[in-house]
Amino acid sequence: IRSILKNISIPVQLGGGLRNAENIEQMFELGVSSVIVGTMAVKNPDVLEEVIQRFSGEKVILGIDARDRKVSIEGWQEGTEIDDVEFALRWKKFGIQRIVFTDIARDGMLSGPNLEALGDFARRTGLKIVASGGVSSMGDLELLKTLEEDGVDQVISGKAIYEGKLDLKEIFKC
């Protein structure tokens, strides 16, 4: 992480494995611009509340990994019965402003984003949403753009870029 921050001049968002306030503080001290937390919101909500108060709901982003609209944690290994919208609304009250919403049934499958779930989630929560999971083409990005008014204003794509299905130059034109 230190090496990445040293060699680039764009904001760096970090997610994964952040399980306590000390980890998060360390990342901000290194120069990370924002952190994404998920499991902590379920397992250590009191700690996350303190982290949000200390660093702000702009810098602390809630990651919701959902399978059939239920929150999953621990790197998708543990399912819960927590409704994704209710969970987001709970954290909105504490200042969270943005959600990375991953439909884990579609992530890495290149099967297209779950537009229905994303749109419904964005409209019902009123939060800014980063769509994650399923993006496979420029067509998918165009479809996601139709949800921008609902609050879906950013996209994460991995596999489609690595496999050459998306061209970064084309993405930036979109």
Q: Is this model's pTM higher than 0.95 or not?
A: no
The first and second tokens of residue 138, run together, are 């420029």
Tens-binned pLDDT, residue by residue, of the chain (174 aa): 999 999 999 999 999 989 899 999 999 999 999 999 999 999 999 999 999 999 999 999 999 999 999 999 987 677 899 999 999 999 999 999 999 999 887 655 567 899 999 999 999 999 999 999 888 899 999 999 999 999 999 999 888 898 999 998 888 887
Q: Which domains does the chain have, with CATH numbers?
A: 39-172 (3.20.20.70)
State whether residue 60 is helix, strand or coil: strand
The full DSSP string for 94-155 is: TT--EEEEEETTTTTTTS---HHHHHHHHHHH--EEEEES---SHHHHHHHHTTGGGTEEEE
